[in-house]
Every structure is written in C-alpha cells, then in structure tokens.
Structure 1
C-alpha cells in the first residue's frame, strides 16, 4: 500500500481506509489504539537512535579525543603477515560456476616467493575459502626439491592459512607454493561475487561474476599475501562458458577449449606488471563492448546490450582524460588497454583495478534523454578519479592502509584537473572549496574525527579509513601544498615521486622527502625547513585551526586555535599555518604563496601594508577558518 495523500486522508469518512479521520465538525480523530502504537513506535525509534549513536560514534570518557584515534591504540584483530616471505609471481587458474544452486569456484594457485628470513612457516591470507589440504605442496625453485608439509590449519579470526614445514626455508632461496581450493561467488559484493540483471527482451535472469578486492578481499577469491606492500606479478587464467566473455587486468593471450567440460573455454591472460593484490580483477559476463582505439591503447566500455548507447559520454571523455594525465605526469599509462565495466550490482561508485575499472551503472551510464546535468557531472568526476588512480594508487601504492590518503586524496584532488580539461566551461576548479574543503571541515570539527594517518590493524579499522577525512581532507592538504610551494615545484616533485617509486610502495615520509628536495632545489623552502616538519602537523593530528587576525594600525596580531562545535572539548593542538593575504595597496587575489607562517605557535604579529582593506587566506588555500577584524571587515561589509 502506498502512502496516502492529504486529500485521501481528508476525504475518508465513508471508506475508513486510513486511521486518520474527520468528524462531522471537521475535527481530526485518531483512535486510542493508533495513538498507543504511534507512541510505541516513537519510543522504539528513539531507542534505536540512541543505540546507533552509542555503538557507531567513537567515545572515550575523560579523553579530549577518542583514545583509539588520537593515540592509535592497537586493537584485537587480524594480525599482519610476517615479512619473512615476499611473493614474486602468482599463476592463478579459476573456474566460476554461474548456475542456480551452484555459485562456487574451483581454483588453483602457484605462488613463487623469495625468502628474506629463514622460517618454517608460511602464512597466507584466506577468507571463506576451503583448501584442498592434500594438494598443498612446497618446493625449492632452483632444484625442484620438495619441502615436507608437517601441519596445516585455518586461523579464521586473523583470516590466515598457516602451513608448517618439516624444515626451514632458507634465506635468499626462492620457493613455489601450490594450492588448489574451492570458493564461493557470494552475493554481498565483496571478493569474487555474483551479480545479475534482467534481459529486457527475454526477461531471463543473466548472471555475472565480478570482483571487488579492495581493501582486503582478494583473499576471498584465492589464497594470497593480501597486503598492499606485497607486490607481485600475476598470470591469470579464467574458464567460462562459450557464450560469455572474461576480462582481467591484462589483454588476453590466447583462448583454448576446456578439455573435460563441454562448451567451456579457458582464457589465458598476459602477465601483469608488479601490483598489489587488491588491484587484481576479473569479470565473467555476457556484457557487450563499445570500443575506441586511441594512441595504441584499446579503450573499451562494457555494459548491458540495451545500455550501450548510454556509454557514449564516458567513451568520449575517458580517453581524453587519460591522455591529459599522461601529459601532466610525463609518464605513459603503463598497460596496453583499459576496460571499464558497468556492473549491475556494485558496492562503491567505482574501483580503480589496473586495466579493468569497475563501476556502478549509475556513475558510468548517461542517457541523453533523461539524465540530468548532475548525472553528467557524476560520470565525469568519478571517471577522472579512477583514471588518476592509475598513477596514484596503482603505479605507486601506499605501503599500508594508514596512508590511504596518499592515493584517495590525490585522486580526489586531481579529478578536478581532469574534468576541467574536458569541460573547461564548467569552471569546476572553483567548486573545490565547497565540495572538498567544507566537507572535510564538517567531519574534522567533530569530537569523533581522526587524523589523516593513524595506525590500523583489523579489516574493520581499515574499512573505516574510507571516509571524507582520507578523501576530502587529503585532497585539501594536497591543494594547500601546491599553493604554498607553487605549481611548478609541486608538479616537478610529484613527477619525481612517481618515477622514484614506480611499481613499488611509498609512505607519506617518502613524498615529503621528494617534495623537500624539489623545494630546496627551486628555492621555495628555507634550507633548514622540511615538508615533513610542516605537514606532520596536518596528517598525524586531527582537526584544523581557526585563525584570528586583528589589525592594530600597521600591525596584525594573528592567533590559532582548534575549531570545534563542542565548546567543552579543548585541546592545545597547533599547526604550521601558511598565512597568505592581499590588501588594497598590494592587490593580487591569485597570489596564494605564504607571506608569513604560524610555526606551531599560538600567535604572532607582523606589519602589513594596507590602507582600507585586507583579506586573509584568499581562495581558502590554507585549511583553516579565518576571522579578520577592524578596518577590512567593516569596509568590505559596507560594500555588500
């Protein structure tokens, strides 16, 4: 039953269809039973709201900031893998079954590893996978000598499979681990999962198998070293029915008939570059392709057959944004192809899998007849975000999830450049303050906020990192660095950073070191100052300052204090705050380079050349609320 309209409620005296009625005098009458039910419902809703607030909002009594966030206390949860074994190459074969009553997978993986420290245990990540224990074998690569397996066990709490050996693996040697297993095509859009759509012609259900491995779900598809620092190369083979297609990160090398299964095909894909496990992807479906060949790179969008026309916008702007980023970074996109797939069921807006980007249909498809301008903006921004990830996140990957902003912040910042290139008339760069900076302010002004970087261990803690702090605040501090270093120095530093850590991992200190070196070379940073010293105040502590500037004659008194809506919450947190300003005597609203700094100090004063007005923090390039008083604010207010 639908919700009744006002007219239906008011003209209901005879039918008695709803419980709200009018008397002959026009008065509303509600029965006692209904009143009681409404009161009971209200009480239940209040109780639920209280419970949700209690369990979902971090709160620690007698602490200025939640202890787990401010001091990064280690919680119970899945432990990190040992560093004694490093994967080099995966040979993965997987058969997904997309049949009613049988949504499972059969898989086999051979992992070549290098031993960096002698050990008699091999620990792999798995989740919801059944290992065929008789298949587990370990051998030394140099002479094919087998190493006896003495014990095997699941550790479900830490999502590990532990293989104990009768003798130690020797430091410096390479070994191969072989395992066969069975998995599930689940229906909750994590790991290797199933999706479906209704064929518009036949009305039949069409099944799809797709992946979402970020951040910690490659282990649902195959046993692996499922941490971003364990980069390796992958050679993937996928079996499929002959009436379907399969995709993976790399182009197909060959297809051969499955010998013991009628009308099935093995698709063998080329070897990937060095990459993290969360970026591995594959799709098995009957989706249809729309191809565009540009600069020797095959650009293909896949969707339901009756939605192909709706991929034209993405096909028009996607190759152009990719080319723009290639020129911006001075580094060619390193893979020979890009597939973009509109998945009917998808838990995020999109996922930047290298060479195989998956999207929610709503942010990849655009119908010229019914879609809105906001829909067009969503397609452009999400597409640019994912393409920026091909460099920041894929080519250079954060070493661990505590530096998630190193990829999400950069993608959220750079998307504005990509969209501005294809739609310059939108002036999208002017939206950054309202869309990103103020979104970060809204979260970071709360008592329950967290630093950009803090230690995470469990999968739950890792998932909680995917929030506006990592995305919008990350993007905002990157914009601030760009403005206080200058575009030329900033861009040169980014390019040097990408070249230095290509196909590898980095931490925020690696970025700070490269930017410091570039800034010193360009003379944009004092020799005894480092970017780390400045930016640690923005990344390892939460919140942001409100900067107050009061003019007294020729002098300005400037102070900072943490901004918060909770007046009972007080901390003496201090930041390195770049102070840029413009005045009526030296007017330049585009000069955002800092003329002064608050160097983690509560306040300072300096002289200013101004007569009638002055403006602090033009374009809000510094991440702070600014209040400025006396002549300027009164005079500017008189103009409004």
Structure 2
C-alpha cells in the first residue's frame, strides 16, 4: 500500500505592499468597557455647515497656524433628552448654542469638555428637554490647530519650495479614522452619516481652495475670500477634505464635463500627473461597470479629483471627490520614477477609487469591521487594475503581495480576527493593519471562486444598493450573498455561515491529506496553523472549499470547489492509482499548500515544494 501525506500550510514570502505595518494590538481599556469612547446613539446627524478661517501667520490676536471654526449641526433627537454628547478635540471651545428647527432658542445650562474621551457634553437648563424625533440645530464656535505634521492628522500644515526659491505653505485635512473632531466638533464615528456644506475664508493672496465638491461661490471680503462649496453626498465625517494653498493647481485634466477627472498638485510638478490621468478614468469606468453603479451618478455634479500632497501620513486617503495621496503615490516623472513606484500609482489609485463604493457609499458601522472598507479596496486594488491592464499581471501578483502577507501575519498567537473589538482612538488606529487589508482581500478572492464571479458581482451590487449612503454590518453583506446565491442555485454550503466563520475566527487552518493510492481514498484533517511549534493547537474548524488535481489527469484551471469541508475530518475519493495530488489550485483559497514526503518506497512520485 502506498500512502502519500500532503499538508497544506503557509508559504511565507518576503514581500511588501502599501498597507499599514502590522502593529501589536493596543492594551484593552483598563475600565473593561468596550464602548467607553463611543458616543451614545441618542441623536442622529442630518446636516453640518462647517466654516473655517485659517491663519498662516499672526493676524492681530490670532496665532499663526490656527483657525477659527463655526460648525452648525442639524440633528434629530432619538429620545427625550436633557443632555447629549458629541466628539471634539479642538484647541478651544468658545461658545455653544442650541435652537429648534424653527430657530427658537433652547436654553443650555452648560457644556463640558470631557478631554479623556474627547467628548463635548451639552447640558440643558432645568425645564428644557429635547423631544423624541424633533429636529434641532447645535452651533459651536471654536478655535482649532493647524498641526505641525500630518502624523497628528486633523488639519495639518505642509510646505514646499517653489521655483521662486520661497517656501510655500498649505493646510490640508487627514481625518480618518477619528480626527474629524480635530477639524470640527462632530459625531466622529463611521456609522453616523449626514450631508455637509463647507465654507472656507481663505487669505486673499492664496489660490482657490479644493474640497470634496465643486466651488459654488467665491466672494472677496476684506483681506479674505469666502468660498462656498456644493453640498456633499450623505457620508461619514472622516471623509471631509479641504486643501488651502498658495498656488496648488491642476496638473492633468481629462476635460470631460460629464465624467471629470483631474490630478492636482504643486505648480512645479507640472507634467507629472499624466500617468495617473491615464489609469484613473478607465479604473472608474471598470469599477462602475463591475458594481453596476456609476460613480458619476452617485451625486449630481460629483467631482473625481486626486491631489498630491508633499506631506502625508499614509499612501492615500479616499475622501469623496478629493482623494489625497502622498506625492510618490500619484506623481510620475519620466526618468526619475522607478517601475515599482509607477506600478504603485496604478494599484493605489485602484484602491482609493474602489473606496468610493466600499467605504464612502457604504461604510462599516464601527471600526471593528474596518475590513468591510479596506478588504474590498485591497481586493480591487489588484483585480480592478488587472481588468484595465492585463499586461501588469496583477492577478498573479496578488498571491505574493497580499495572500502571502496575510498568511504571514495570521500565523501567530497574537493575530486577530477580521471582526475585532476596538474602543479607544489608539485601538481603532491599531486595527488599520495588514489583517484588515490582506486577509479581507484574500477572503473575497476565495469567496469569488466559491460562488462564481457572476454571483459574486450580483451579491456586491445587492449589498451596495441595499446599504448605499448608509452604514453596514457584516450580516448585511452575508444577506446580500444569501440572496444572490439563492437566485443562482448555489447550494454547496450555507453562504452566510461560511462567511461569518472566516470573519469571526482567528487564524487559518492547515489541511493534511493522507492518500491511499491503491483505493483512491483521501483522508483529510484540518487544524489551526501556528508558526511556533511550541503552541498547542485549538479545536477551531473552518469551512474549506476543496480544489485539487492529480498527475494522471491534471487540470489547473478548474477552480470550482468539489465540496466544502466543514468538519475536522473528512474523506473524499480520487481514481485509484499512483500519482501526485495537489490541493488548493492556484492558491485561490486561504489554505495555501506545501507538499512533503511521507514514509514511501523508492518508486514514489511526489512534487517537492518550491520555497
């Protein structure tokens, strides 16, 4: 009897991708309260008017690199309230006032700044109560900081040296994930959505401000210009963006008034936006077609600007209508930019544009499920760009850059599940890690090949339509897939349970196959894989889609799972006969394979792993 043992486990590849570096999980909050930093859900934002007056130098009693702010939040009370809370992390609160929808004053007894949790608590005077489902307007006058570096997020300052040899300043925003509260007091959680009117009172000697939406009016007032922008779509506060500069300009423009696409940057970067313009519009069209939701129909007169910032804290950020990139990730200079950085311009553009649907149109309800935003964007970073330009071979590179990176991060005791409880701003930031990006994307690849691409596309469309301009929980995604697979007759596995297991479970399985060549019986066993041999295994199980081929009849392209293994052990059969067997074809499942020799005779055939 010839027995071959095959074990599926991780192949660690040393590769880099443009997602945040894996960091150690922050320590749990000492008070053991998973919602300590969350605001109560007793008011619902409807609309903000945000007015910003920046100071780049001392003006009277105004300090340099500060700004005056006025925010008016229209909200609906969701219960009878004598006090309510929003979030703020500004320099100073000057005043707080409250009116009814009709402008009748509501007496505010006091406001408290709870600095530990970045709360602004508004207490009503005795005899005053917000009425359930009534609408009110809260106005906060405040002073904010234009922070020294983008690492502080919020509103920050940057500069560059112009062709005139002079230092030119600009102020920009980087509000993801918990920093809109630095730009304006707000309900600064992704699940709260509303529309926004942005008003900027810029210095008269500065150039036109760029923001999420088109400029509606520009009015000189003394030494300033008052700029009013078109109302945004209904979106989360962290997606607000504005860029105030002396002379940033349009570097490249497709000159299409119906489907506009522009590259913005410092004026001495002219000629460096052409490659980004070459890839951006086709990517927008490809994604619009794939999701069957046209980007340019999401909001009347919507923009699609991409701006290059000399200073930026990440690769790029998906602000609706004004995506901001680190210069290296958007600008291409012939003879200076290397091939790897040129490729990253394409893939990061695809990532950020995919966010228009996954992150902007729908948004995770809370950051414990940031993979809903980042997993999808990371998946389409490769597969959307592959759809636009096959010559880049990005479908093949996905396995090296993302799948292997996910497996490497997910093989330790300290890894986390895709859905992972976070509380404080530090914990939220720590969840923007490789697992949310790479494992999320790898799960989607496995899911696509399990249900077929047509069903996959249909489910995504259902999800986006059902939760558009709203927040989403994982169950909303599961239900969209249940609907799609039900219509398409997929019955291999209960798809919602399949997805939930992969989202909720920590780590991933190693699959061992013991093959009886004489009978063709293949005995399968799964257990969690740990990189450390000293760690005891767990009793976890996953639903594993099985694909394999063998030496007597090799077929590397049949990626449809023959079955889904949901138990710790299972048995399948092949045709009797001595031959090699390979599981997990093309590594499309989150159980990559390595073969190893068992105790075999000299006449055994076995494929050696190529490490």
TM-score of the superposition, structure 2-length normalised? 0.89
Q: Cα 1:169–1:73, aligned 2, differ >3 Å: closer, same or farther? A: closer
Query: What residue in structure 2 maps to residue 453 of structure 1?
Result: 419
2:167 to 205, 221, 225: 205
Structure 2 portions without partners, runs of 5+: 1-22
Alignment partners' CA distance in 1, 2:262 and 2:98: 40
Alignment partners' CA distance in 2, 1:566 and 1:73: 32
* Count of residues paired in the alignment: 566
In 1, are the aligned partners of 2:375 and 2:440 still within 8 Å (CA)? yes
**CA shift for structure 1 position 73:** 9.9
Is 1:501 equivalent to 2:467 in the alignment?
yes
2:239 to 279, 288, 292: 279
Moved more, 561-570 or 220-229: 561-570
Aligned-residue Cα RMSD (Å) equals 2.2
Query: What residue in structure 1 maps to residue 326 of structure 2?
Result: 360
Query: What residue in structure 2 maps to residue 330 of structure 1?
Result: 292
**CA shift for structure 1 position 512:** 0.6
1:564 to 530, 553, 558: 530
**CA shift for structure 1 position 78:** 4.8
Q: Cα 1:246–1:610, aligned 2, differ >3 Å: closer, same or farther? A: farther
Give the match's secondary structure for 1:494. Answer: helix
Alignment partners' CA distance in 1, 2:43 and 2:499: 34
In 2, are the aligned partners of 1:583 and 1:609 still within 8 Å (CA)? no
Moved more, 627-636 or 327-336: 627-636
Query: What residue in structure 2 maps to residue 89 of structure 1?
Result: 47
Query: What residue in structure 2 maps to residue 176 of structure 1?
Result: 137
Structure 1 portions without partners, runs of 5+: 1-55, 60-66
Is 1:188 equivalent to 2:149 in the alignment?
yes
Is 1:635 equivalent to 2:594 in the alignment?
no
Alignment partners' CA distance in 2, 1:187 and 1:447: 38
Give the match's secondary structure for 1:232. Answer: strand
2:280 to 312, 318, 324: 318
Residues 143-196 of structure 1 deviation map (CA, whole Å, 9 limit, x = unaligned): 432110011110000001111002210001101111111111011310011111
Is 1:152 equivalent to 2:131 in the alignment?
no
Query: What residue in structure 2 maps to residue 34 of structure 1?
Result: none
Q: Cα 1:206–1:522, aligned 2, differ >3 Å: closer, same or farther? A: same
Is 1:424 equivalent to 2:420 in the alignment?
no
Alignment partners' CA distance in 2, 1:576 and 1:478: 14
Which structure has the larger Rg? Answer: 1
Give the match's secondary structure for 1:297. Answer: coil
In 1, are the aligned partners of 2:90 and 2:184 still within 8 Å (CA)? no
Alignment partners' CA distance in 1, 2:608 and 2:179: 58
Q: Cα 1:618–1:382, aligned 2, differ >3 Å: closer, same or farther? A: same
**CA shift for structure 1 position 74:** 4.2
1:110 to 40, 51, 72: 72
Runs of 4+ in structure 1 over 4 Å off: 56-59, 72-78, 627-634
Alignment partners' CA distance in 2, 1:57 and 1:325: 34
2:57 to 99, 105, 125: 99
Query: What residue in structure 2 maps to residue 269 of structure 1?
Result: 229
Pairing 1:17-56 to 2, within 5 Å after superposition:
none
In 2, are the aligned partners of 1:94 and 1:105 still within 8 Å (CA)? yes
Residues 534-593 of structure 1 deviation map (CA, whole Å, 9 limit, x = unaligned): 122211121111111121131001111111122222222211111111234554312212
Query: What residue in structure 1 maps to residue 250 of structure 2?
Result: 289
**CA shift for structure 1 position 282:** 0.6
Identify the structure with bigger relative contact order (alpha carbons < 8 Å, sequence gap 6+).
2
Query: What residue in structure 1 maps to residue 219 of structure 2?
Result: 256
Query: What residue in structure 2 maps to residue 597 of structure 1?
Result: 564
**CA shift for structure 1 position 480:** 0.6
Q: Cα 1:638–1:443, aligned 2, differ >3 Å: closer, same or farther? A: closer
Pairing 1:401-550 to 2, within 5 Å after superposition:
401-526=367-492, 529-550=493-514
Alignment partners' CA distance in 2, 1:123 and 1:107: 19
**CA shift for structure 1 position 418:** 2.2
Alignment partners' CA distance in 1, 2:421 and 2:46: 27
Residues 291-320 of structure 1 deviation map (CA, whole Å, 9 limit, x = unaligned): 223371221211111212111100111111
**CA shift for structure 1 position 68:** 5.7
Give the match's secondary structure for 1:181. Answer: strand
Give the match's secondary structure for 1:436. Answer: helix
In 1, are the aligned partners of 2:580 and 2:607 still within 8 Å (CA)? no
TM-score of the superposition, structure 1-length normalised? 0.85
2:193 to 208, 211, 231: 231
Residues 3-40 of structure 1 deviation map (CA, whole Å, 9 limit, x = unaligned): xxxxxxxxxxxxxxxxxxxxxxxxxxxxxxxxxxxxxx
